[in-house]
Amino acid sequence: MKTTEEELKKIVQKKYALIAEQPKSFNQSSCCGAENSSHKVYNIMMDDYNAVEGYVDEADLGLGCGLPTQFAQIQPGDTVLDLGSGAGNDCFVARHETRETGKVIGVDFTDVMIEKARVNADKFGFNNVEFRFGDIDNLPVSNKIIDVVVSNCVLNLVPDKPKVFSEMYRVLKPGGHFSVSDIVLVGGLPKALREDAEMYAGCVAGAIQKDTYLKYIQDAGFKEVSIQKEKPISLPDDILGKYLNPKEIEAFQKHEHGIFSITVFGKKPGSTGKKKANISEISETKYRPNSGCC
């Protein structure tokens, strides 16, 4: 029987509440924190935050699949929105960029994550960072008040992705933009992986085709849509072995398919009245090699 959207939501909430209460080292030893698999699953998705200014180790649960804040062109005074803010990791990096004159809002639908993020913000005195409980496909944010939206490996967990992009468009100011890291596909997934709820919570089964993902962004009204960074993701055999027999694993690994982490930029038409850096001016030299799991 196919899992309904509401059932998927509850599965994800339960899984990420568990992740919030686990130590970071445990989360990093599993795919998206889903479970404690072998060490083969280290370094699957996440980039290394250690060289990123504003990084707070206590807020990093070892989740995510990119560094969207580093491509987000955040300026002092901006109001930044983080979709699926978890324990506050990307919010605190964004706060460093927007400075004391700006504001950062994190939205998450897991109570334990919200509480953890608020404790972290209080601990470090980050008074211009706020965390709100809510769904990212029905944001608790007013129209046209956000300068920049960021998100890190979260949209793939939402069944109605067009609704999320529509909500992003609604809350952004004219001329505002987003930079989002997410997981997408080129080619298909085997049915056993595609229909498994655990793989959905683990960032893979909810991923859609890259072309479809980009079309949803354009259909929402965004312009200047571009992929800022892309990297392939390989599922190790010990994970695939839960769903496929050896012959099926061999066929899957040889098939012309791909699971990718992409960081995507899009802009809402109009003008904020503020000069923004050109995308081409944003250098990837700020990045370090991948480290940790998603």
The SS3 call for residue 267 is strand
Q: How does pLDDT run across 31-78, given as a tens digit for each residue?
A: 444 344 433 332 355 666 676 787 777 777 667 788 999 999 999 999
Report pTM.
0.80
Query: Which of these, 126, 61, 51, lies nearest to 285 by C-alpha position?
Result: 51
**In this structure, are residues 10 and 110 in contact, taking their beta carbons and an 8 Å threshold?**
no
Tell me the CB-side half-sphere exposure of residue 25, using CA atoms within 13 A: 0
The SS3 call for residue 256 is coil
Whether 283 shows a pLDDT value over 70: the answer reads no
Average pLDDT of every residue of the chain? 79
**In this structure, are residues 113 and 87 in contact, taking their beta carbons and an 8 Å threshold?**
yes
Q: How does pLDDT run across 176-198, given as a tens digit for each residue?
A: 999 999 989 888 777 777 766 55
Comparing 140 with 208, the larger pLDDT belongs to 140
**For range 255-280, the mean pLDDT:** 74
Instruction: Tell me the residue type at 44.
Output: I
Q: Answer whether CATH 3.40.50.150 is correct for domain 5-271.
A: yes
Q: How does pLDDT run across 113-172, given as a tens digit for each residue?
A: 999 999 999 999 999 999 999 999 999 999 999 999 999 988 988 889 999 999 999 999
Whether 265 shows a pLDDT value over 80: the answer reads yes
The SS3 call for residue 107 is strand
Q: Confidence band (pLDDT; 50, 70, 90) for 293?
A: very low
Q: Confidence band (pLDDT; 50, 70, 90) for 244?
A: confident
- Long-range contact pairs involving 251-259 (C-beta distance under 8 Å, separation at least 24): 252/190, 255/187, 256/187, 257/185, 257/186, 257/187, 257/188, 257/189, 258/185, 258/186, 258/187, 258/232, 259/183, 259/184, 259/185, 259/189, 259/204, 259/207, 259/232, 259/233, 259/234, 259/235
Lowest mean pLDDT among 69-78, 106-115, 204-213: 204-213
**For range 14-21, the mean pLDDT:** 70
Contacts of 273 (CB under 8 A, 6+ apart): 175
| Angle between helix 161-171 and helix 210-219 axes, rounded to 10 deg | 40
Whether 268 shows a pLDDT value over 70: the answer reads yes
pLDDT at 190: 73
pLDDT at 263: 96
pLDDT at 234: 75
**For range 90-94, the mean pLDDT:** 95
For every residue of 126-193, DSSP letters joined together read -TTEEEEE-BTTB-SS-TT-EEEEEEES-GGG-S-HHHHHHHHHHHEEEEEEEEEEEEEEESPPPHHH
Q: Confidence band (pLDDT; 50, 70, 90) for 256?
A: low
Going 87 to 91 to 93 to 99, the CA torsion angle's sign is negative
Whether 11 shows a pLDDT value over 70: the answer reads no
Residue ranges covered by each domain of the chain: 5-271
Q: How many percent of the chain have pLDDT more than 90?
A: 47
Element (DSSP H or E) covering residue 108: strand 103-108
Using CA atoms in the order 22, 23, 29, 31, what is the torsion angle rounded to 10 degrees? 40
Query: Which of these, 72, 65, 25, lies nearest to 49 by C-alpha position?
Result: 65
pLDDT at 195: 67
pLDDT at 125: 94
- Environment class of 53 (CB within 10 Å of its CB; exposed 0-12, middle 13-18, buried 19+): exposed
User: What is the distance between the alpha carbons of residues 127 and 95, in angstroms, rounded to a whole number?
Assistant: 10
Going 176 to 285 to 91 to 102, the CA torsion angle's sign is negative
